[in-house]
Amino acid sequence: MTELRRTPLYDLHIELGARMVPFAGWEMPVQYPMGVLGEHLHTRKAAGLFDVSHMGQVILRGEDAAQALERLVPADIVGLARGRQRYGLFTNDEGGILDDLMVANKGDHLLLVVNAACAEQDIAHMTATGLAPEVVTDRALLALQGPGAEAALAALVPDAANLRFMDAVDLTWEGDRLWVSRSGYTGEDGFEISIHESRAPDFARALLAQEGVAPIGLGARDSLRLEAGLPLYGHDMDTGVTPAQAGLGWSIPKVRRAGGEREGGFPGAGAILPELGKSSRARRGLRPEGRAPIREGTPVFAEAEGGEPVGRVTSGGFGPSVGAPVAMASLPAEIPEGATVYAELRGKRLPAVIAPMPFVKPTYKR
């Protein structure tokens, strides 16, 4: 077995009583003594601190870095202003999704944050197409999320309060440079902060010392993003799912679409662009009746009895803030919102209503 990697905050997690689990090749905290339910609700009402150092941080340099990245990503990277960040997708020649990522324009370089499980393939993908990605190996990455996030971070780094959603700038804490973006994956206002690995434990302790800040594990991170209607790579999207089918067509701007100034030019454009707004399948929100959650892989039927499955659940669980089960499923796009479908759980079909997403209203500071 391959030895699991540890983040710079491993010892702090143990000190805080975290239950550690293998995740994407790393040993990560799934929960702390507060428990997943408590951590989820705490993040929604105060502030949660997440260790996301397992994510890949990558730098692209050069005057043509933005143009070169656009040959792999169907987003407007050329038009991304300095100090701003954007969501994007790596796609394959068939139109499937290789990974999703964040791209920040830091002026003299681009900073990418990619999924931990896909980091190695993403690096190889960029390298094979002529890019020269620099993998950042000496920095931790923290996410501070929730309505109390701004006050907590601003107590240490006052200029953080000036940031708006998707701003990405360098700030300073006790002489150390922080790479800060106002973003996250919980549906809450918050920040992602990259800091040198040697200072990460002290910085995390300083944040946890702020009123209302608590450590949060992977369990609550997943339930928070599910309530926010945010897809997870390897679950709600993969190489067999196109951007339109994943509900991510919005990430492809007009300039890269048919008739746009920089139309296509990325892998799978011939399959992806004609499908935008016309996909026969889509990622849909589900609100199951009752209290039983429906999990990933559960088949979904159009009728209470008989027939073949029309789709499957891609993410599902109990939504603590909603107070009920919530799920996302790959289903025919033609099924109208408000219609009832049936998820088969242990041989019994349970009704679920096609519901709008997100399940909780996002609180991004724009």
Contacts 24+ apart (CB under 8 A), 38-42: 39/214, 39/215, 39/216, 39/217, 39/219, 39/220, 40/216, 40/220, 40/223, 40/224, 40/320, 40/321, 41/320, 41/321, 42/146, 42/214, 42/216
Q: Minimal CA–CA distance to 197: which of 138, 253, 145?
A: 138
Rg (CA), the chain: 21
Residue 150 annotated as binding site: no
Cα 66 from Cα 56, distance rounded (Å): 19
Cα 134 from Cα 56, distance rounded (Å): 11
Q: Minimal CA–CA distance to 53: which of 99, 1, 11, 105?
A: 11
Cα 109 from Cα 298, distance rounded (Å): 43
Cα 60 from Cα 56, distance rounded (Å): 13
Residues forming the annotated binding site for substrate?
A: 192
Residues forming the annotated binding site?
A: 192
